[in-house]
Amino acid sequence: MRKGWIWVGLSAALLITGCGDEKASSGSVTNAASPAPAPVTPKSGVAVAGDPGNAPMVVSGPIIVEHEVELTAQRDGVVQKIYFDAPARVKAGTLLTELDGRQIEANLEAAKAKTRSIEADLKNWEAEEEVLKADYERQKNLWDLGLTSKEQLEHARYKAESDQWDIKRVMETLNTAKQEERSLELELEKTKIKAPFDGLIARRYVREGQNVAKNDRLFWVTAEAPLLVRITLPEKLFGKMPLGERVEITSPDSPSEKHAAKVKEVSPVVDPSSGTFEVLVELVGDRGSLRPGMTASVHLENPH
């Protein structure tokens, strides 16, 4: 009997011990805390989660100038003379090249001669008008005195009025002649290709004696200053780039140079297809080795 109680006691003890282990194991799973994340150190120039957005931002864009144009032929012709070649610097209005305009010059001289002839005719008609007006006034005075017939009075009036219509006709002919003359002057002007602004001849496309057609390229002329950089920024910065804000410009072609610049122009709209907007940055001070067409990096120190 005593042995039976001992066996029952041992079984109960083992059962209690097993239940305790199971609870301990179960509690270690359900109550375990997640391990704390390791601190993240932000990299220079890169924003991380929770960062207020004050990390520097670098955006690349092309260096451009406001004035840049390819000069084209305004009419057909033969290149008669080239006065400047690339990379010459020229002033606005400088004659760069000239097409053969001898036929136009001859036509213009003929038009001027025609204009002079019509002007002389007009003076004759105006002189005759004065004579006919005087005759009509004399006939009116004689009519008042009863010394002329009504037929003679009407005849003098008709001649005076007819002469006025002739003068108007000649004046219209003169205006037409002057318009023809002006048209030929414009055609002659088209043979003279001039620099539209102060700048640099970047490229010449034609040679002397070459036959060119209307709209053929002749020169590429570009201004040298001010240098501008056009960049695109994300929509989140829209309205947060004030005009005049100072930025820094560098170029991979001259990494040792740093240039000051300012925000000159900000697009008033956001491009819905890309979610970006354009900003135009203007170089301030010496341009160093920067030239139009190069790629520049714009450094935004405190983008919001």
What does each of the 304 residues of the chain score in pLDDT, given as a tens digit? 444 444 434 444 434 444 444 443 333 333 333 344 444 333 333 333 334 455 678 999 999 998 989 999 999 999 999 999 999 999 999 999 999 999 999 999 999 999 999 999 989 888 888 887 887 788 788 778 888 787 887 887 878 778 788 888 999 999 999 999 999 999 999 999 999 999 999 999 999 999 999 999 999 999 988 999 999 999 999 988 889 999 999 988 888 899 999 999 999 999 999 999 999 999 998 888 888 888 999 998 776 6
Task: With beta carbons less than 8 A apart as the criterion, state whether 81 and 95 touch.
Answer: no
* CA pair distance 304, 298, nearest whole angstrom: 16
Which three-class secondary structure state does DSSP give residue 227? Answer: strand
| Preceding amide of 35 cis, omega within 30 | no
CB atoms within 10 A of CB 96: 21
Rounded to two decimals, the pTM is 0.62
Instruction: List own/partner pairs for 110-115 with CB under 8 A and 24 or more apart.
Output: 111/177, 111/180, 111/181, 111/184, 112/181, 114/177, 114/180, 115/174, 115/177, 115/178, 115/181
Structure token pair of residue 54:
């004050």
CB atoms within 10 A of CB 183: 13
Three-point CA angle 165, 169, 172, nearest 5°: 140
